[in-house]
A and B are shown apart, each in its own frame.
Chain A
Amino acid sequence: MAEVRAEMVANVWKIVVAEGDTVEEGDTLVILESMKMEIPVLAEDSGVVAQLKVAEGDVIQEGHLIAVIE
């Protein structure tokens, strides 16, 4: 199980995957936006997206849980 957390304060611009999706290491899970920059959040392991804890438009803080990959 791998937790994916936000590295910075950001807005959630786009959700790319859905719960239940199978992802490969390096796949984009969500795209954040902070300070006019798009920041893709990538899966660090291959697996299934067990939980997706953010929605488009959310403002998240550094350390906020974005997804759980199992």
Chain B
Amino acid sequence: MSTITLHDTHNNDHHDGHDHGHHEQSFITKYIFSQDHKMIAKQFLITGIVMAVIAMGLSILFRMQLAWPDKSFPILETFLGRWAEGGRIKPDFYLALVTIHGTIMVFFVLTAGLSGTFSNLLIPLQLGVRDMASPFMNMLSYWLFFIACVVMMSSFFIETGPASAGWTVYPPLSALPKAIAGSALGMTLWLISMVLFVASQLMGGINYVSTVLNMRTKGMDLWKMPLTIWAFLLTAILGILSFPVLVAGVVLLIFDRSFGTSFYLSDIVMGTQVLPNEGGSPILWQHLFWFLGHPEVYIVIMPALGISSEVISVNSRKPIFGYHAMVYSLIGITILSFIVWGHHMFVTGMNPLLGGVFMITTLIIAVPSAVKTFNYLATLWRGNIRFTPAMLCAIGMVSFFISGGLTGIFLGNASLDINLHDTYFVVAHFHLVMGSAAIFGMLAGVYHWYPKMFGRMLNEKLGYLHFWITFICAYLVFFPLHFLGLDGVPRRYYAFTEFEFMQKWVTVNIFVTWAAIVAALAQVAFLFNFFYSIFKGKKATQNPWESNTLEWTTPVEHIHGNWPGEIPTVYRWPYDYSKPGSEADFIPQTVPYSQTMSSNMPHDFEGNAESERIQREWEEKQAKEKAILD
């Protein structure tokens, strides 16, 4: 299959594709087993949205438990059966809820839903490529992801319930069905789902990297790529290098669970039953998990950063400030993210010497993050900002990135982490930086590239409504949680009823839950807008945001192969907005310098003597003409 498709695209490159896109596709090859990157992007996005809605629903369930621990909601029993007997969620099921909420959000929504969607959509479109390097593998990547989702959700329909050892599934809890019901079949399904998911991510990642490195259009050298592509490229590299480590860890855990090995287990007594496992270490899992797990959080945030860079630049009508610094900081984050995993393990009993080392690397990673933030702010300075919903979300993203990043400085400090580890401070921190910043980056992407995906526009006013409610509520939900953490309230507590000192936080919990419910309801505005506009939205024009990048040179109607004729050639970087001397406030990448003599700048020619000479002659001529006119 893949060779046929490649051949097909190859042909079109040479014959200007007159017969392009005219061969009939059946419903199945077009919408289901599609190999077209644009369709696969939409599949990833819609699956991601569905999973996000599910995970958000789960979070509302456990937020209700936290807010009203003594109250019974008989309606829950109707839906959840004996997991909520008498209308009250059971402790085991509460843990299952937080586990599956975390797993879905981190892996299925913010990894697959975010980079799956936008890497697939934008890498070929912004680089001038007809399709991915391997469309077949791309299709496989989506379907493995889909199966992973189905397997994960199927664990809600088994007797022992879904995995419930937390999304980090630390053994021995996750290895021993006796320790918690969710560690029976539910955990097996979790592990299977995760292996499928990683396979999907690897196929996707290899595809992204090979497409970016090998298939760019004429003139598109690496330093002319939009920052989105840089972010996707580095994200994919991160994924390729770190996800296999998770699989290794998962396989060992499967062995421990099903074949009686002792990789993670040692010296365990359940009740009075002495288990035969000897010689393993639970710490090993943590090292393997976080070796993926920390790069994973950058896999989540980097595409969001890339998307925001693009959206902020387009809507400020200004070049992104410090393009090179932005790229180097992404590269810095990529490299550093591999050597900071230990900051999740400061208090595991790991050798304290390691704690010191990991603290140093962790706080260093704050420097490139700070550079990115300041560059965003500098991009806004003296801009001409258009508040499209995408721009609002991108600004929201920057705000959350600052807030979440700053609380990270506390947690990255090993000494402070002693008292903050596994408390609500951590919950607040990563929800700001992943749950809010990355989600807002994703929303910015959806609002911005929706016209490209569906050929129609989203309703702007609904977008404003959605943004403002979500933005405000996200702060209302996560800001107060820091203080619970500072009071020593641990996370993953089923109820605060057993501790006297936690009683004072119950009102805060109720407030937070209400804010979460409002935020969840606000998503209805987005969902309605999204699905309604697919069919009924205003028809999009070719370049609705007046953007420079290549994807807006393709026709609105999707065609296989993206461009009807020859693939456009790229002459300039993607950020020539409001260039002095230019009539329009944007100059697309496909416009050669010869057509913009009045706005060219010396450094545009990168030291090319011939071009500089032509420009100089032109300028002299202009000066003369001006002199004559005067």
A and B: interacting chains = no
